[in-house]
Amino acid sequence: MNVPKYADIIEAAERIKRYVKKTPVLTCTTINNMVNAELFFKCENFQKVGAFKFRGATNAVLFLSDKEAARGVATHSSGNHAAALALAARNRGIRAYVVMPENSPWVKKEAVAGYGAEIIYCKPTLEARETTLEKVIEKTGATFIHPYNNFNVIVGQGTAALELLKEIEKLDIILTPVGGGGLLSGTSLTVKGFSPKTKVIGCEPEAADDAYRSLKEGRIVPSINPQTVADGLRTSLSDITFAIISQNVEQIVTVGENKIIEAMRLVWERMKVVIEPSAAVPMAVVLNSKLNIENKRIGIIVSGGNVDLDSLPWLK
């Protein structure tokens, strides 16, 4: 297996810098006082398409040769990766094909179509997704860009932590959410190369705790149809992300659904920042004393801010 290294992240940062936003790092005195630690929020919810996913997708698209690029890129995802890939492809002037379940929410279709991707609908099963994707690739010759089990995607995701570490010195811990593990993997590679004393910890919903269980058992133990408000974290680790995380990540900490919603609301209320439920998981871990963080300096990668404003979890 071809596993990325820190040097790949440095190259990716250079490759994508014309396209991605250098997102701000925010702090909040009130929350610091609540948890008795110093928190630094790397706001990837302000990234283009509203999520860190744009980094990985851009890196993967720019890495293609001209010949490959001419045939386009494809993926199956209805989430932030699909929108990110659509915009990354448009920026390079190539086609993006996105396979989506026909019952996807309207807002998600809109987002992907709005960035100029071609949507191919399929039945809402994993099998239908995969066979439809295969057909698309066969027909078009497009390159499949997996949302996280992809060398260049992982490497791209690691550039957020690189910006954070360059801006904020001496972090004791960096927290990220973990779903498929792309962000956590990339972050851990960056930290190992740039700031090896900093600990990297993955934060996961209890209701979708495959990374926690996989690390414990030393093999990939996927979550089967997990139900969590953190819709970006329902996916399970893949072979590349499992390999990286097993080697570089200190620990996975899990937290319950209500705590995630409370943490999300607290960030909106106190920091005036719109974060999606998945992005609130590290904050929920910090607020609920799941870690010894007293007087520590903690970086949090705020993964995204794509939320349906007509349907907020605390109003249900």
Q: Which residues bind its own copies (CB under 8 A)?
A: 24, 26, 29, 43, 45-46, 48, 50, 265, 268-269, 271-275, 305, 309-310, 312, 314-315
Token pair recorded at residue 212: 């926690």
DSSP 117: P
Measured from the CB atom, the residue of 40 and 46 that comes closer to its own copies is: 46
What is the DSSP secondary-structure string of 191-203? HHHH-TTSEEEEE
Minimum CB separation of residue 81 from its own copies in Å reads 18
Measured from the CB atom, the residue of 93 and 218 that comes closer to its own copies is: 93
Tokens 């807002």 identify what position? 107
Measured from the CB atom, the residue of 128 and 273 that comes closer to its own copies is: 273
Minimum CB separation of residue 291 from its own copies in Å reads 26
Measured from the CB atom, the residue of 81 and 146 that comes closer to its own copies is: 81
The closest alpha carbon to 306, from 77, 9, 12, belongs to 77
What is the DSSP secondary-structure string of 34-89? HHTSEEEEEEGGGSGGGBTHHHHHHHHHHHS-HHHHHT-EEEE-SSHHHHHHHHHH
Minimum CB separation of residue 41 from its own copies in Å reads 11
Minimum CB separation of residue 265 from its own copies in Å reads 6
Nearest-angstrom CA–CA distance, 310 and 256? 23
Helix 239-248 vs helix 151-167: crossing angle, to nearest 10: 30
Minimum CB separation of residue 46 from its own copies in Å reads 6
Measured from the CB atom, the residue of 43 and 203 that comes closer to its own copies is: 43
Measured from the CB atom, the residue of 48 and 95 that comes closer to its own copies is: 48
Minimum CB separation of residue 30 from its own copies in Å reads 9
The closest alpha carbon to 301, from 152, 191, 136, belongs to 191
Residue 266's contacts (CB-CB under 8 Å, 6 or more residues apart) are 31, 283, 287
DSSP 268: I
For the chain, the residue count is 316
Minimum CB separation of residue 311 from its own copies in Å reads 9
Measured from the CB atom, the residue of 89 and 253 that comes closer to its own copies is: 89
The closest alpha carbon to 291, from 26, 37, 41, 40, belongs to 37
